[in-house]
């Protein structure tokens, strides 16, 4: 698979990464054997960039990836710190807020290193901004971890352009991760331009709209009881019915390319810049293979413009997060 550069510090990864959250967290039932088979197939297809976080599980997703890696040195691992995680409860019940206290960062990184079974984390993100800790202090600790050899490259997630500039002044930031897809266009307001200016890579998560842009999304009531999409505004019945009309037009356009709508949606993201590396999730091999094929799907410029207009933010019904999640987004 074609490689792309994230930042100018030397981090080179496959043009498509693999978001691993859904293999262990947030979307209902998980199948470890299926996930490991999918990861093995991803490596065969040239995907060498995996995205995880301590909070996915919590902790179990990093342990899963360790089983898949088995000492492989050619796979780049991105993980994240930044949440306060309790021992009681399950899943999100264990998350009680953000925490980027310097001592906590160090504890989180040591835990990730142990669970992943690696000597150094390729890309370390602050998962969400902690308003109690200045970003300069956070990046200062992260930079110390680079100097100590425990981390190679630094990243941030869901921060504003102003915060990104302050962080990059302390230590070069190689990648910014934020939600970006046909139906989530917020980064186009400032972030993409800032990343270009500062030579920072951009890593879109949920580039398939949490599965909705695949054209195969089930009705909301068919989602597992513990699937967190049940609580998101865009997946409520009225909003879903409205947004499905846009996906139907995406599906129709995809037939002209002899492609699936998911492939067209990913190709659109890839076409937005060589500094962009989306990380679609896939727990099944068939979905992984479909996503990877998007890396070689060239879109006509006229169709890119058509999709830009079709999925203009004013045409989307429902927010991408509810108020609770938006509190954690630096806007």
Q: Is 124 helix (H, G, I), strand (E, B) or coil?
A: strand
- What does R_g of the chain's alpha carbons equal in angstroms? 19
**Which residues is 78 bridged to in the sheet?**
51, 123
Residues 6+ apart with CB under 8 A from 222: none
pLDDT at 25: 80
- In whole angstroms, give the CA distance from residue 317 to residue 325: 18
Q: Is 284 helix (H, G, I), strand (E, B) or coil?
A: coil
pLDDT at 220: 59
Strands 151-157, 175-179: pairing is: parallel
Identify each DSSP E strand in 129-286 by its residue range. Answer: 151-157, 175-179, 201-205
Q: Is 179 helix (H, G, I), strand (E, B) or coil?
A: strand
- In whole angstroms, give the CA distance from residue 258 to residue 283: 24
In Å, how far are 60, 87, 162, 164 from 169, measured between CA atoms?
Answer: 34, 36, 11, 9
Going residue by residue through the chain (331 aa), what tens digit of pLDDT does each one get? 999 999 999 999 999 999 999 998 866 678 899 999 999 999 999 999 999 999 999 999 999 999 999 979 999 999 999 999 998 777 778 888 999 999 999 999 999 999 999 999 999 999 999 999 999 999 999 999 999 999 999 999 999 999 999 999 999 999 999 999 999 999 999 999 999 999 999 999 999 999 999 988 876 567 777 777 888 889 888 999 999 999 999 999 999 999 999 999 999 999 999 999 999 999 999 999 999 999 999 999 999 999 999 999 999 999 887 777 767 888 8
Strand ordering across the sheet containing 121-126:
18-19, 49-51, 76-81, 121-126, 151-157, 175-179, 201-205
Structure tokens belonging to residue 17: 């990464």
Closest listed residue to residue 44, CA positions, set 289, 222, 320: 289
Residues 6+ apart with CB under 8 A from 305: none
Catalytic residues: 56
Is residue 263 within 8 A of residue 297, CB to CB? The reply is: yes
DSSP result, 160-178: -HHHHHHHHHHS---EEEE
pTM, to two decimals: 0.95
Domain spanning 3-326: which CATH class is it, in words? alpha beta
HSE, side-chain direction, 13 A CA sphere, residue 232 = 20
Neighbours of 97 (CB within 10 A): 12
pLDDT at 224: 76
pLDDT at 93: 81
Structure tokens belonging to residue 255: 């037939």
- In whole angstroms, give the CA distance from residue 280 to residue 257: 20
Neighbours of 303 (CB within 10 A): 17
pLDDT at 26: 67
In the chain, what are the domain boundaries?
3-326
**Which residues is 80 bridged to in the sheet?**
125
Closest listed residue to residue 112, CA positions, set 62, 166, 170, 39: 62
b/e string for 289-300 if b means 16 or more Cβ within 10 A?
Answer: ebbbbbbebebe
């Amino acid at each position: 698979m074609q490689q792309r550069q994230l930042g100018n510090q030397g981090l080179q990864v496959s043009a498509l990464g693999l978001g691993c959250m859904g293999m262990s967290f947030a979307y209902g039932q998980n199948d470890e054997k299926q996930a490991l088979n999918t990861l093995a197939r991803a490596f065969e297809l040239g995907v060498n960039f995996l995205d995880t976080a301590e909070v996915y599980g919590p902790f179990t997703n990093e342990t899963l990836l360790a089983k898949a890696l088995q000492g492989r040195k050619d796979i780049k691992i991105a993980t994240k710190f930044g949440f306060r995680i309790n021992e009681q409860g399950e899943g999100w019940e264990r998350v009680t807020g953000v925490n980027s206290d310097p001592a906590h960062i160090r504890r989180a990184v040591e835990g990730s290193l142990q669970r992943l079974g690696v000597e150094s984390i390729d890309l370390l993100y602050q998962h969400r901004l902690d308003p109690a800790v200045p970003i300069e202090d956070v990046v200062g600790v992260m930079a110390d971890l680079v100097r100590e050899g425990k981390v190679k490259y630094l990243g941030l997630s869901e921060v504003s352009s102003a915060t990104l500039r302050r962080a990059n002044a302390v230590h070069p930031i190689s990648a910014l991760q934020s939600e970006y897809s046909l139906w989530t266009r917020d980064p186009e307001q400032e972030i993409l331009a800032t990343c270009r200016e500062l030579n920072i890579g951009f890593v879109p998560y949920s580039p398939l709209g949490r599965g909705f842009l695949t054209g195969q999304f089930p009705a909301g009531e068919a989602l597992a009881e513990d699937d967190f999409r049940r609580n998101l505004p865009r997946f409520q019945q009225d909003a879903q019915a409205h947004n499905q009309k846009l996906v139907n037009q995406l599906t129709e356009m995809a037939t002209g390319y002899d492609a699936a709508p998911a492939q067209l949606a990913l190709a659109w993201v890839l076409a937005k810049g060589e500094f962009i590396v989306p990380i679609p999730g896939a727990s099944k091999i068939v979905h992984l293979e479909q996503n990877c094929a998007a890396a070689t799907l060239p879109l006509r410029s006229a169709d890119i413009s058509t999709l830009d207009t079709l999925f203009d933010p004013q045409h989307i019904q429902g927010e991408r997060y509810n108020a609770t999640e938006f509190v954690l987004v630096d806007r």
